[in-house]
Copies of this chain bind each other. A is one copy, B any other.
Amino acid sequence: MTHPFILGHMSLRRDAARNWDQIVETGRRLVDEGTPLRLNEVARAAAVGVATVYRHFPTPEALLETIALPGLEALAARGEHALTEDDPGTAFTGLLLAGIDALLADPAIPPVFSAPDHVLPRTAEVVARLAGLNTLLLDRAQRAGAIRPGLTAADITRLICGIVYAATLEPDAAARPALTHRYLDLLLTGLRT
């Protein structure tokens, strides 16, 4: 990942951009290792001054959101692709499955996705985009009679997070994907008409 031009017309000095990259990359590594993001530690691991990290990312949340962004955008793209599918039922369940897999695959995503609000505009934007997609696909599936009425998109979002959370209670991480898929099946049985 490489630093994006801000608002499309502003750029960072070359050394700043390089540091930005190193910080995000290091943060990604730490997140993947399961370490909670401590900005001082990120600075040390990235061989960069502490102030540099704080200048780019005032809080751990800001860095985490930056790290999570690509994954969230991939998921949103996946959702937009689902709009073109023929069967509203499979389009909807397909997005749920993709969401679960994304949440499981990238430890940066769950905390960002389930946070009540976001510090970066781009994160807020992509999460809102996902919510819109979710609403749209759910509505379609409900109209097609594939999903029972009386459920909101917010319910779906929460339940997906709940399923992923449930799977994290399994100590063996390798077993989690299979678990989430079983739990999603269970949920879908309840969701269908």
Question: Residues of A at under 8 Å CB distance from B?
Answer: 114, 116, 154-155, 157-159, 161-163, 165-167, 169-171, 179, 182-183, 185-191
Chain multiplicity (copies): 2
User: Considering the chains assembled together, what is the distance between the CA atoms of A187 and B166 in angstroms?
Assistant: 13
CA distance A189 to B179 in the complex (A): 18
Residues in B whose Cβ lies below 8 Å from that of A186:
159, 187, 190-191
- Which residue of B has the minimal Cβ distance to A189? B190
Task: Give every chain B residue within 8 A of A167 (Cβ-Cβ).
Answer: 158
Residues in B whose Cβ lies below 8 Å from that of A166: 158-159, 161-162, 165
- Pick the contact of A161: B155, B169, B171, B191 (CB < 8 A): B169
**Distance from A192 Cβ to chain B, minimum over Cβ atoms (Å):** 9
How far apart sit A182 and B167, CA to CA, in the bound complex (Å)?
A: 20
Q: Which residue of B lies closest to A170 (CB)?
A: B158
Q: Cβ of A154: which chain B residues have Cβ within 8 Å of it? A: 170
Question: A190 contacts which chain B residues (CB < 8 A)?
Answer: 185-190
Cα-based distance from A186 to B189 in the complex (angstroms):
8
Query: How far apart are the CA atoms of A163 and B161 in the complex, in Å?
Result: 9
A157, A162, A167, A170: residue with the most chain B Cβ atoms closer than 10 Å? A162
